[in-house]
Chain A
Amino acid sequence: MTHHDRSLNGSPLMSSPSFQQLTLNGLWKNNPALVQLLGLCPLLAVTASTVNALGLAAATLFVLIVSNTAVSVIRTIVSDTIRLPVFVMIIAAAVTVTELLMQAYSYELYQILGIFLPLITTNCIILGRADAFARKNAVPVALYDGFIMGVGFGAVLVLLGAIRELLGTGALFADMQLLFGPSAAAWRWQVFAVDYPFLVAILPPGAFLVTGCLIALKNQIDTSLERRAQAKAAAPVAGSKRVRVTGSIS
């Protein structure tokens, strides 16, 4: 990438972030689902059960890795003006591959996920990472970013699916054979017996409710962590004139 390119982005010359930073970003600080609130459509639509969530999470993860890597590889060749169509073509190709793979190896799940598989193409996380990160960073870093962002998104997806399945049916990991073959049929775990399922958890409103609760929980954890850090940082400073001006306090 030339110096000219960088100045266009408005960002100063910066070294690529460390893997540790990337991990923290993808999984927590900048989690695509809980903080960036990207890709909410599939997040809300297919998380009625753990297996659906897991299927879509895996598909999104795969597409993210492929698209981030490919975009990073061609980042010096493609000019800024036509970059978005090029990125979308790459993503669409990756999605097509995923779709065909799922059709071949887990046909039933492919049918359940339905339109949400092709719609991965329009998932903002993928184009967002390609445009905001992959086109500015070297291949290994971009690949790892795609991986960890996919894991961060997938983790929320699976957690949401598990909570909704548990609330709605009292069971976990039902129908895992759709993804892991016939032997996984026995994975279903009836956590508690439900005479009357709490249907709203499985219906669309439940997706909004549980997502909202998860976001609130994350913010609450962040706030209390910050408070604890402040309390910790404030104590030794008392009486000392040294002020820390660089780095982050953890």
Chain B
Amino acid sequence: MSLLRVTSPHVSGQHQVSAVMRDVLFATLPGIIILTWFFGPGTLINILLGALVALITEYAVTALRGQNPRIAVSDLSILVTSTLLCIALPPYAPWWLIVLGVIMAVLLGKHVFGGLGYNPFNPAMVGYVVLLISFPVQMSSWATPRGLAEVPGLLDTLRHLFLPDTIDGVTAATPLDLLRQNTGLLFKDLIASRPELTGWGGVGWFEVNLAFLAGGAWLLYRRIFTWHAPLAMLAALGLCALIGYDGGSSESGGSALFHLFSGATMFAAFFIITDPVSSAVSNKGRLIFGALIGLLIYLIRTLGNYPDAVAFAVLILNFCAPFIDHYTQPAVYGTRSND
């Protein structure tokens, strides 16, 4: 029997933290499966190792902070953080990279600020950025997709994880890297010149993005988040790409379809920027939040030097979210606006 006094509306809450987190974890499955199909079991191993480290770290930190570690672990939020981070990490990354990244995400991203619900920055992206600026070489070597090279088996993956020197990793530049390194080829010719670039977002990448789009659509259907931030981000990114396409010249920033379906676009749109804690709160705020992330992703992708732009764009806008909230605060029902 519940003795809590509550006011209306008396809606039974399905949106408990653990239920939301479970849904998010389910929604990443299609993306993880497609990633595993195209790039081998690297991502899968990343996620398992990351989850183990995340649970241990979370348990230890909450126990140290005098909280109930069992409750903290059982809300699954830490598994979402580690899973999102590990999806973003390159497959076949050395084990210490994953361990360090997850620990940084849990400590620096989450608990330094007070734990679940208090983090101003997306913890997974904090972990990612710490790794990216510390170990740029390891972080920018992505695996070669199926069809262009043999995809490693499970045994090879494990061996590579703990003894990275025993076999040569099959790494290749991602489509985004290829586009950035392009000097002098027309966009059309660049696509034709590299087998990795066939399809709309590069081999494998298009399918991966579709899978995350599907997972995200399911989350939207489940009303885990609203459409505002993802749509604004995709629209802004697409619009910027259209403007920067430059008729497909050698200076082209790439086509809109390419930007929408390559790299981490869909993953970011539906799984990263929809974090309820670190994003803007109101619907109008989320539109602005998402659109600015889309703009920044395009700018950093075309002008910057990093493998993908999502992490930096998200962190910068996380920083801006309180300001956006300040200027987009909805009027309280019944009041008149002052202006």
Assign chain A's interface to a size class.
10 to 19
Complex partner residue of B133 from A196, A200, A212, CB under 8 angstroms: A200
Q: Is the interface of A mostly helix, strand, loop or mixed?
A: helix
Residues of B within 8 A of A203 (CB): 133-134
Give the shortest distance, in Å, between A129 (CB) and chain B (any CB): 32
* Shortest Cβ gap from B307 to chain A (Å): 16
A205 surroundings in chain B (CB, below 8 A): 130, 133
Q: Which of B108, B134, B136, B137 contacts A198 (CB 8 A)?
A: B134
| B138 neighbours in A (Cβ, 8 Å) | 196
Asked if B135 is an interface residue, CB under 8 A from chain A, the answer is yes
Q: In the bound complex, what is the Cα–Cα distance between A232 and B108 (angstroms)?
A: 36
A199 is an interface residue with CB less than 8 A from chain B = yes
Q: Which of A197, A209, A212 has the most CB of B within 10 A?
A: A209
Select which of B112, B130, B137 is within 8 A of A200 by beta carbon. Answer: B130
Which residues of chain A in 206-237 are interfacial with respect to chain B, using CB atoms and an 8 Å cutoff?
Answer: 209, 212
CA–CA, A200 and B135, complex, Å = 9
Q: Are A199 and B133 in contact (CB under 8 A)?
A: yes
Q: Determine the residue in chain A with the shortest Cβ distance to B104.
A: A200
Minimum distance in angstroms from A227 CB to a CB of chain B: 14
Q: Are B134 and A200 in contact (CB under 8 A)?
A: yes
How far is it, in angstroms, between the C-alpha of A209 and the C-alpha of B134 when the chains are bound? 14
A136 to B216, CA, bound (A): 67
A199: chain B residues at CB < 8 Å are 133-136
Q: When the two chains form their complex, are residues B108 and A196 in contact, meaning their CB atoms are under 8 A apart?
A: no
- Nearest to A196 among chain B residues (CB) is B135
Chain A: minimal CB distance from B318 (Å): 15
Which A residues contact B (CB, under 8 angstroms)? 196-201, 203, 205, 209, 212
Q: 10 A–B contact pairs at CB < 8 A?
A: A197-B134, A198-B134, A199-B133, A199-B136, A200-B133, A203-B133, A203-B134, A205-B130, A209-B108, A212-B112
In the complex, given contacts A199-B135, A199-B136, A203-B134, what are 16 additional A-B residue pairs having Cβ atoms less than 8 angstroms apart? A196-B135, A196-B137, A196-B138, A197-B134, A198-B134, A199-B133, A199-B134, A200-B130, A200-B133, A200-B134, A201-B134, A203-B133, A205-B130, A205-B133, A209-B108, A212-B112
